[in-house]
Structure 1
Amino acid sequence: MPSLTVPQIPHYEPAPVTNEALDYADLAIIDLSKSTSPEGKSQLVSQLREAMLSKGFFYVVGHGYSKAQMERMFDIADVPFSQVSDEEKEKYVAPTKQTGSYQGYKLRQYWHIDGGVRDQIENYNINHDVNKRAHPEAIRPLLPEISQFAHHTHMNVLSPILRLMALGLELPEDTLVNMHEWDAESETYVRFMKYYPRSEEDEQKTKNVWLKGHTDFGSISILYSQPVAALQILAQDGTWKWIKHIDNAIVINAGDAMEFLSGGFYRATIHRVIQPPPDQRHYTRLGIFYFCLANDDVKLAPLVASPLLQRVGIKRRFEKDEDAPLMVQWRKARTSAYGQTALSKSSEKIEEEVINGVVVKHYN
């Protein structure tokens, strides 16, 4: 990373790693540094494809950021929450329901969780083009670092993964990269997210669930690992498995857009956030995400030219390919509805809503 004159900001001290014996998911670890050789790339294609088919989540290491650089990014991630007043936050709230965009703040108690309980989560979302909109005063001196972080993540984490995924579909390796361009019009963004401890009453009403089981609506979700255990994935046997913290690793999963494009081959895995284990319950949980969406004008229809899909079959979520929405349409519909619409129960554990003709499930 080129040298920067960086402003002084408070250090965010994360929680210690939990000592609880949790039922962790056994996820593959993809070392992106191996993708520079043909042999290494071939090995990673097979490893990633198997990881997506079996778990839908995997870790990435060898991503080019040092532990010290990531500690600095977590310090930056806390600034929108600890260094901006509530009054100033209100000036930069995202008009999510009106525009279908998360850009800006999502303040606490915006989402309905369950049993009349609203969330205790703040997030601040910044388009990968950090100059798309104005930012609170405390964040402005940090924009060069945030922009550099977004560019590094896009080029050195996202793009290699998209190439491996395209090769896994037996397509030209830039097929998916060309649908997720840095310079294209898209909602791809950095999210800083802070979870705050809840009251025991709220925990009981929601059965300790902080975010219901859901799929992400974009293409690829990139989460920089942090120590507070709370993220779980729904395994194929129907049980919830915890995601373990690996120091300076990244957790990757696919969202709806990738499932649509890959004809169901790279599935969007259900995941949720629950109350942390007892030894971490009094800490805040600070997260750094890079949510990648396809270019706004990409039609989310299956890549039927894939020889692999022609062999294994295509699972369409829309009756006809021409019915598939553009990325911008799917993003706006999912974003404006999340945590705001009344869900209908299809079973004791599953609630549903219909968006653009697709049944979207939430697991409570």
Structure 2
Amino acid sequence: MAAVSFRKIWWLGIKEWWSLARDPVMLLLILYTFTAGVYIAATAQPDTLSRAALAIVDEDQSQLSARLRAAFVPPQFMPPEQITLEEADARLDRGRATFVLVIPAGFQRDVLAGRPAELQLNVDATRMSQAFTGSSYVQQIALGEIAVFQQRVRLESPPPVELSVRARFNPALAPSWFGGLAEMVNNITMLSVILTGAALIREREHGTVEHLLVMPVRPLEIMLAKLWSMAAVVLLAALVALLGIVKGLLHVQIGGSVTLFLAGAALHLFAVTSLGILLATLARSMPQFGILVVLVLLPLQMLSGATTPRESIPYALRQLMLLAPTTHFVEFSQAVLFRGAGLDVVWPRFLALAAIGAALFGIALARFGAAIRQ
């Protein structure tokens, strides 16, 4: 059996780069995914309450109700608008307010007299994230202001137990710290599958596969060329996103070694680029390949632990996802980039990625060899 020619693999990979350079849509996808896509994911959907629309129906017009109106301030809430009770339902129906707080007449009098007093909070529950978080914010702020008003001064006596909270790895609890890195990790998987699979589909549609069949190259050499060339593009784009967008633009501190992360990313790319070629051999056209990518990537990313802790996933799915490269890559990336872990901590993930990559590569090579001879 003839030895693998690394010279052929090199020049076939260069051919893949030239083919990619002539595809402006794919180049635009790579550029957007690792720049604007990462930035938007980190900043456009904050995990905390931000600029929620609150309206207040103040039927009491007292000193206490004025304190309550003044307590809701940015950045959690937009300056509250005072409306009448008749306008409350219409404001919610039109989506112009997420919360409507109703302060009834005689509220301050009842509070000072020690009689039961009630506030009514109307919530637009279709805005789930703001509705859930904002209801707790409104309750805490209102009860705090009422307590201060009743006591006139804040209590200075220390509580019997003091809870000291230490937020490790992200002391400011900034959502961008997690969102940007999580998006970058997901995009590495997505682009790797799309680039390698699309390269094979494109050759089949343009008829260049027949040209390769009459050349003195083997399926292994063709597949290795596609793998290294597309993996190099994704690695370079990931490095730009990590240093330029996450660290440079978002000012997120990288906890561990960038070199170690790139080494782990290379192993992950070995697995997912093989997966991309495998999917391309199963599809007969680009639309079919796109459908397969959606069906495969969605569960891989949703169940990998990138957006939801794996402990929250049902046990059977959690065990099944140990066969997926994304599970190990997400845990590896979080350990290195978030917590500054070294090779002594993440080496089991290296072995898992290598084993899964070898299995996917073997299956993809068998399918690829059979497909190009059909």
Per residue, is there more strand in 1 or in 2?
1
TM-score for both structures, normalised by structure 1: 0.28
Normalised by the length of structure 2, the TM-score is 0.27
Structure number with larger C-alpha Rg: 2
